[in-house]
Structure 1
Amino acid sequence: MQRSILSSRSARAFVSVAGLMVAGGLGVGAAVIAASDRPAAPAPLAAPAAEGTYSFDPAHSSVVFSIRHLGTSNTWGMFHEPTGTFVAGPKGSIEISVPLDKLDTGNEKRDQHLRSPDFFSAKEFPTITYKSKSITPAGENAYDVTGELTLHGQTKPLNVKLEILGAGKGMKGEDIIGAQATFTIKRSEWGMNTYVKEGAVGDEVNLTVAFEGHKQ
């Protein structure tokens, strides 16, 4: 994370210096520096999403998570190739299935431990699922989703905000849509308590679910 922040700052500095060289004047150079530090405005949708059912493209969908370790650092991981459907329209819905055999933290020994009964109990509960009950508009390109998360064999309510990132046409001319949701859960609420009291592994898990859907 620190490396990416440093890289970003270096890039901004390079753009600023280049702006000074090209502009040849302090006033224009200062404007370039100010612009480089200004966050970019969110891009609008390429086009309204066509109503219908969209199937996740597993190659361009993922679930990323982070959790605190020993109260001092964050450990990151990912679930590759989630599957699911998203229905765009007045009666919208979303269903997601996350395979635990696609868990990847970059360390195979840790991945095996996470799949064990200490954590996910992957042999007994091989998937994590989320099913919506309702989807309502919540501003431009955003929706409030009411639903249920099934994790570790337990199903509990979970409400998230879904952001539509874009809609348009795929490589074959099909309608496509991209969206993501970022939220936090407490794993203990789904019966995953290992190392919570000891403080070795945090209770809160930060997740981002991102998907690209292709219209059926």
Structure 2
Amino acid sequence: MKPPPNDIRPLEQRPGIVWAALLTPQGKYLADFFVVRTVDGRLLLDISTPLAADTLRRLTLYRLRADVQITPVALHVLRGLGAPSAGALADPRHPALGWRAWSETPGRDPTIDWDRIRVENLIPDSGVELIPDDSFILEHGFERLHGVDFRKGCYVGQEVTARMKHKTDLRKGLIGVAVDGVAPVGTEITSEDDKPAGTLFTQSGGFGIAYLRHDRANGILKAGPARVRIV
């Protein structure tokens, strides 16, 4: 049987990349990262810089007596579309995100609008849609984006995550919207009858990612001076 995309066990044997998250005991998001076995055999944790120090501290606590060393390294993440660079691996979240590679020198393709790609494919980003101690990963598409495995053993936050999967209907989640007007990231969205409906996040080209209550995600919504509708 082929392992699920979120299974890290194949990384013991060959290069690969898995997207995963660290949660609180209450099932709330703390950090997301890529677990990477590079083509030259290194095991890396590819994580957003603002989340790195706290995540390192927590993983060091969870290590207990395991013979594992976790050490910060000064590598840069390279991202691209089309033909991959040497040592690159496909981003496991979505084909539209291309590939990732790791280098001692920085590099960035200014022609790629990553926000547009995320908006088109409803992909959350840490520090924007994904908010530590607040977000729930199932409401933010982690199952669709191969960021959770319901067949693995125990992990911190598993009980709440599994209950949200098997015993409840998600009442909130990320939804693609069209935005007519200008509203800053984090603007509250209200319904036609002025009830709180959610929050507007990343926007690009007149479209955006919204976190909404499903029972109020209808009709013309408002985000400050902007008008918002579901697409």
Q: Same fold (TM over 0.5)?
A: no
Which is strand-richer, 1 or 2? 1
TM-score (norm 2): 0.24
